Amino acid sequence: MYEKKGPIAYVTLNRPKVLNALSQGAWEDLTTAFEQARDAAAVLGAILTGAGDKAFIAGEDISELAHATSVDAQKSSRSGQAVLDLIENLGKPVVAAVNGFALGGGCETAMACTIRVAAEHARFGQPEVKLGIPPGAGGTQRLPRLVGKGRALQIILSGEMISAQEAYRIGLVNEVVPAGELITRCEAILKQILANAPLAVRFALEAVNKGMETSLSAGLLLEASVFAICAGTEDKHEGTSAFLEKRAPQFHGR
């Protein structure tokens, strides 16, 4: 489900009867929604959540997985990875409003978002090993990058769930809030980000995401490049002028 309010797109996975499990159709719906958010100039950021109050996304649709061949599984894995790459590299901030279980593909989806905010009752995990498979939508790669190799391996190899509070302690989520304040807090975070220069936000996101995939020296070169690009924009002129003139800046993404 896709809805736009002002500069924010709200994407809700709407399969509450199966705890918003990721069927092939659900992956396709996420692709459509985030392509729409990416291509809409008026959309500057997005909030992703699950319908109902029990689950963000409770993992893959096991009824589909049970009948998948090796060929089917590889295709499904690469397809899911592509959707999450779209979310991670949207060029706009995406906040995950984790309103319940975020397991397997759900945890992987949350990790692809820019920022994760969890309700107090949320639970996280990569329980795929209990089904005879490893994570297949980025869990083995994004989780160690977020929480470190040792903690990631414990979560992945045990298959156990962790609480929202533990997820916060290890750096998997940014904040934990009461369930009734979840969307409001996500909106507040996005509005704080969106008050800044759009091009600076976009290029900062790119520098962090791409820099994580390379060496420090290559990452620093990338940083200098995007710094230089932004230094030539109208927004930089506006931002520095507003600072010197002691007024609020008016950015236009140019």
Q: Which among 3, 88, 120, 128 is annotated as catalytic?
A: 128
Q: With respect to residue 249, please indicate whether it lies within any of the assigned structural domains.
A: no
Q: With respect to residue 251, please indicate whether it lies within any of the assigned structural domains.
A: no
Statement to judge: residues 163 and 219 lie in one domain: no
Q: Token pair 């949350």 is at which residue?
A: 110
- Angle, helices 234-244 vs 198-211, to 10°: value is 110
Question: Phi, psi at residue 96, to the nearest 5°?
Answer: -85, 120
251, two tokens: 């950015």
Statement to judge: residues 13 and 96 lie in one domain: yes
Statement to judge: residues 129 and 40 lie in one domain: yes
Q: With respect to residue 177, please indicate whether it lies within any of the assigned structural domains.
A: yes
Whether 175 sits among the annotated catalytic residues: the reply is no
Confidence (pTM):
0.93
Q: Which among 35, 60, 64, 108 is annotated as catalytic?
A: 108
Whether 108 sits among the annotated catalytic residues: the reply is yes
- The CATH code of the domain that includes 226 is 1.10.12.10
139, two tokens: 């869990």
Structural domain containing residue 184: 2-194
Question: Phi, psi at residue 209, to the nearest 5°?
Answer: -60, -50
Q: With respect to residue 252, please indicate whether it lies within any of the assigned structural domains.
A: no
How many domains in the chain? 2
Tens-digit pLDDT string for the chain (254 aa): 899 999 999 999 999 899 998 988 999 999 999 999 999 999 999 999 999 999 999 988 788 878 888 898 898 889 989 999 999 999 999 999 999 999 999 999 999 999 999 999 999 999 999 999 999 999 999 999 999 999 999 999 999 999 999 999 999 999 999 999 999 999 999 999 999 999 999 999 999 999 999 999 999 999 999 999 999 999 999 999 999 999 999 999 89
Q: With respect to residue 133, please indicate whether it lies within any of the assigned structural domains.
A: yes
Helix (H, G, I), strand (E, B) or coil at 131: helix
Statement to judge: residues 42 and 26 lie in one domain: yes
Statement to judge: residues 44 and 145 lie in one domain: yes
Statement to judge: residues 9 and 130 lie in one domain: yes
Burial class (CB in 10 A: 0-12, 13-18, 19+), 209: middle
